[in-house]
Structure 1
Amino acid sequence: MNEFERAYNVGKTLCIIALALISGQVFGQDNEQEKLAELQAELRARQQVLDNSKASAKELADVLKASELDIAKVAKKLTQTNDNLRQLQAEQQGLQQEQSSLKAAIRQQQSLLSSQLKSAFMAGHYDYAKMMFYQEDAKTFERVITYYQYLAKARQSEITKFKDNVARLETVTASLAEKAASLLALLDEQKNQRAVLLTRQNDRKKTLAKLNQTIASESERIAALQEDEKALREAIEAARIAAQRAAEAAQISLDGLAKLKGKLSAPVEGRVRKLFGNRRQGQVRWKGIIIDGEEGDAVKSIASGKVLYADWLRGFGLVAIVDHGEGYMSVYGHNQALLKQAGDDVRRGENLALVGRSGGQASPNLYFEIRHKGKALNPTAWFN
């Protein structure tokens, strides 16, 4: 092989190698582009799932809110029905006592009238005629006439009382029949309301389970809690500003809670399950306390004041905020129903709401806060 042939072969080999290298680089770039496209597609898919999850969580939160508001309405109606039942039963008991007294009086009057009529029959016509036709002494005759007239008036008075009592007995008996019918109707209404309440609570339980599945991860849960806390802070700040404006406009002054520290009663009886300042989740800490209670138990205002907020709030359910003056406020959450409206005055120890599990709670409890000028305080330090 001469020099020319060797040079030709070397050049040919180099060209083949160069072509191989170039095609390899192009093929590698194509692979990277494909992987990038796949990754971007997966990210878009995951983002879509996340967006759908957020939309689903919002939709479920709205359903939960509607369910808890329905429960509040039914629970409030049930409370009113129970109050009406107690009043009706008291009225019924009073009428039954009056009925028993009337029956006893009628029996006594019947006995007395029977004795009087028997005496009049035994001595009546014969003696009366004899006295009239055979009486020689005019004065004696006059006394006898007066005596018989007195007896007649006495009998007539007893007869009138007897008739009045019989008429009253008929009225009372009719009233008792009406009360009994009303009582049966109220008992049926109570039964239906309890059934509706149970249905609403079961619906809420299912919705809550779905919502908890949707917000499953730790980061999502913390973000949700932070959003809930932000919503409550905003509601409290709005209530504080409203209280300040109302006080300035009305030129009124509530006494605040400073002098009541260590003297207040808890708003509901029960075990304090979550303490102020304890870690809630992640870096989120409790700004109030959780008190376990029985569903439907009364939630009482810790002190006199004015209700500034009474509505459903994300994460806290049905919430009441009471202004006590001097920048002090108390917050009551997770209620089943609110018994007061914004603008209502409330006295110390007066029923404000009913213990519930609104705001996505698994068990009935009260979420309670005390704040001064927007700053959360430890509520247990204020209880006696």
Structure 2
Amino acid sequence: MNNKQYQRMTMLRYTLVCMLMLITGNVLAQASDQQKLAELQAQLKQRQETLKANQANAQELQEVLAESERQIGQAARALNDTQQSLSQNQQQQASLREEQQALKDAIVAQQSMLASQLRSAFMAGHYDYAKMMFYQQEAKSFERVLTYYKYVSRARKAEIDKFKQNVARLEQVNAELEQKASELEALLARQQNQKSALQARQQDREQTLARLNQKIASDAAQVRELQASEQALIEAIEQARRAAEQAKQKMAGLAQSKGRLPVPADGKVRRLFGERRQGQVRWKGIVIEASEGRQVNSIASGQVLYANWLKGFGLVTIVDHGKGYMSVYGHNQALLKQAGDKVAQGDAIALVGQSGGQSYPNLYFEIRHKGKALNPASWLAL
């Protein structure tokens, strides 16, 4: 083999080796890509399963949160009733103490007066009919003295009867005060138990809320939650509106009171109608920050159409005011009225709370007309 043939053979071998390496590399690259694809598909499947589990867990936590907030509502309502009973008991005791002191003063005065009358009668000798008859010579004079004596005797008897009545009433008041003191002691014990129960429910709620917030931490998840909550409220309002139409209650509506309606709870407005809430979701009402347990009052007379827990809004009351007008009160700690109850303007219908997953106590408030949200700032006397 000459030199040229040797060079050709060498080049051919080199070319074949390169081709084999290229083919092998492509095969290996394809195998690697397929492996990566399989790994990605496995990861995607795992994430989908995790997401599905998280969604199921989040739904379960929503139900736990709802139950916790319902229990908080029941405990807060019971505590509110007990506090009203305590206040009534204390007022009754104060009234009884005033009456007790007045009776004691009256009895002391009556004792002094009766003692003085008895001393005067004894000193004047008017204690003996026979003595009067013996000393009176003229019939007319005797008759006058006898009449006077009978009058004094009747007056004295009336004073004695009144004295006895006051003594009897004082004993009765003392007994009533003892009873009220016992009732007060029982009410205070009940109040303490109810406060402990309320605190326990609130701690359960905080733990559930923290776990739930971990499940919906991303902005997209929060937007979906808000949209779902808003849709739930719209459906509840529509349901209430249909119920109002069926009931056909003749009520005045709110148009005549625009700009003069009372604020439903004392506090500071933190969120305004139309402000951006999250993503493209905007506030359909206002948020009033207020002390937990403060009364929430109806802005006008009407009828309660809805009083229940609602996802995202917690314990909610919806009041129909007639002519398509409704007011919505959310995030409550407790509901004081039930569906079907009639309310007057200023009636307490709920207590301020932080149900619906709120981080601080507040009232969420809306006004709607035929289902459309209106700006409360144009209707309330803010």
TM beyond 0.5: yes
Question: Would you say 1:260 and 2:257 are equivalent positions?
Answer: yes
Show the counterpart of 1:277: 274
Aligned match of 2:69:
68
Counterpart position of 1:92: 93
Give the drift of 1:41.
1.3
1:69-218 alignment, distance < 5 Å: 69-122=70-123, 124=125, 130-131=131-132, 148-218=149-219
Alignment match, 2:331: 334
Q: State the shift of 1:253 in Å.
A: 2.2
Greater shift, 138-147 or 363-372, is seen at: 138-147
Could you tell me whether the CA contact under 8 Å between 2:315 and 2:334 is conserved in 1? Answer: yes
Residue 373 of structure 1 aligns with an amino acid whose one-letter code is K
**Structure 1: which 5+ residue stretches go unaligned?**
none
Give 3-state SS (helix, strand or coil) of 1:361's partner.
coil
Residue of structure 1 in register with 2:226 after alignment = 225
Comparing 318-327 and 116-125, the one that deviates more: 116-125
Q: CA deviation at 1:127?
A: 6.2
Q: Secondary structure at the match of 2:70?
A: helix
CA change 1:349–1:157 in 2 (3 A) is: closer
Give the 3 Å change call, closer, same or farther, for CA 149–374 of structure 1 in structure 2: closer
Q: Is the 8 A contact 2:329 2:363 kept in 1?
A: yes
CA deviations 1:335-382 (Å, max 9, x no partner) are 111111111111122111111111111111111111111111111011
Query: Is 2:353 aligned against 1:356?
Result: yes
Secondary structure, in 3 states, of the residue corresponding to 1:54?
helix
Please tell me whether residue 313 in structure 1 is matched to residue 314 in structure 2: no
Task: After TM superposition, give the deviation of residue 198 of structure 1 in Å.
Answer: 2.2
Range moving further from structure 2, 135-144 or 204-213:
135-144
The answer for the alignment partner of 1:34 in structure 2 is: 35
CA deviations over 1:153-181 (Å, ceiling 9, x no partner)? 44433322222211111011100110111
Match of 1:295, as an amino acid?
E
Q: Secondary structure at the match of 2:193?
A: helix
Structure-1 separation of matches of 2:149 and 2:108: 25
* Counterpart amino acid of residue 244 in structure 1: E
Partner amino acid, structure 2, of 1:60? L
Question: By how many angstroms is 1:274 displaced?
Answer: 0.9
- Give, in angstroms, the shift of residue 11 of structure 1: 9.6
Distance 2:15 2:120 in 1: 155
Pair 1:256–1:158, CA change in 2 (3 A): closer
CA distance in 2 between counterparts of 1:32 and 1:126 reads: 131
CA distance in 2, matches of 1:292, 1:133: 91
With 160-169 and 119-128 compared, the bigger mean Cα shift is at: 119-128
Partners of 2:93 and 2:174 in 1: CA distance = 10
Give 2:376's aligned residue: 379
Q: 1:111 to 1:64 in 2, by over 3 A?
A: same
| CA apart distance, 1:285 | 0.9
Q: Residue type matched to 1:76 in 2?
A: R
CA distance in 1, matches of 2:318, 2:26: 69
2:292 to 288, 295, 300: 295
**Alpha-carbon distance in structure 1 between the residues aligned to 2:59 and 2:41:** 27
Partner Cα distance (2:128, 2:351) in 1: 78
Residues 261, 24 of structure 1: alpha-carbon distance in 2 compared, 3 angstrom cutoff: same
- Displacement, 1:222? 0.8
With 134-143 and 359-368 compared, the bigger mean Cα shift is at 134-143
Cα gap change, 1:27 to 1:190, in 2 (>3 Å): same
Partner of 1:58: 59
- Relative to structure 1, is the Cα distance of residues 136 and 291 closer, same or farther in structure 2, using a 3 angstrom cutoff? closer
SS in 2 for 1:334: strand
RMSD, aligned CA? 2.8
| Unaligned runs of at least 5 residues, structure 2 | none
- Kept in 1, the 8 Å contact 2:126–2:132? The answer is no
Aligned to 2:343: 346
**Offset from partner CA, 1:32-64 (integer Å, 9 cap, x none):** 222222111111221222122222222222221
> Residue type of the partner of 2:262?
S
Query: So what's the TM-score if we normalise by structure 2?
Result: 0.89
Is the alpha carbon distance of 1:319 and 1:19 closer, same or farther for their aligned partners in structure 2, counting shifts above 3 Å?
same
| Residues 22 and 349 of structure 1, relative CA distance in 2, 3 Å threshold | same
Deviation at residue 269 of structure 1 after TM alignment: 2.1
Match of 2:364 in 1: 367
* SS class of match (2:242): helix
Partner of 2:245: 244
Give 3-state SS (helix, strand or coil) of 2:360's partner.
coil
